[in-house]
Amino acid sequence: MASVLAFRARLRLFTPEEGGWRVPAPKRQMCLCDVGNTYKGKPVFHDARITLQEGEELNPGEEALVLIEPLHAELWDNVEAGHPFTVHEGFAAKGRGVVTERFLQGNVH
């Protein structure tokens, strides 16, 4: 079985007043993440599946432990524990988090 790069993190969703979503985020969803990579001085967002570790949804303004599974792990080579990231919908940031663990997991897809 192949191993794939994954991360555990703490994620806080922004409130609507902070520019966040008005509805809760589901347990699992695809998101655009900014992990600090740039191209010609502009931020580059990367697709990742984010799964809540507990509960069925995350309300705006709340924080939770999440599993992050990058779609293209090679673009996340610079990410280690303590690395900040933001979650986006288009260019608008919807949440902010910090990676707590980088690890390899068995490929379950």
Structure tokens at 94: 């919807």
Domain presence at residue 42: yes
pTM assigned to the model: 0.92
Q: Give domain status of residue 41, yes or no.
A: yes
Interval 54-66: pLDDT, tens: 999 999 999 999 9
Is 101 part of any domain?
A: no
Residue 1: is its pLDDT beyond 70?
no
Residue numbers of the domain that contains 55: 3-96
CATH of the domain at 9: 2.40.30.10
Q: Where are the beta strands (DSSP E) in 1-109?
A: 3-13, 25-26, 28-39, 42-52, 57-58, 63-70, 84-89, 92-106
Long-range (24+ apart) CB contacts under 8 A made by 47-54 are: 47/71, 47/72, 50/11, 50/87, 51/27, 52/25, 52/27, 52/28, 53/8
Residue 109 belongs to a domain: no
Q: What is the pLDDT of residues 28-76, one digit of tens each?
A: 999 999 999 999 999 999 999 999 999 999 999 999 999 999 999 999 9
In a domain, 102, yes or no: no
Q: Give the chain's domain count.
A: 1
User: Average pLDDT over the chain, rounded to whole?
Assistant: 94
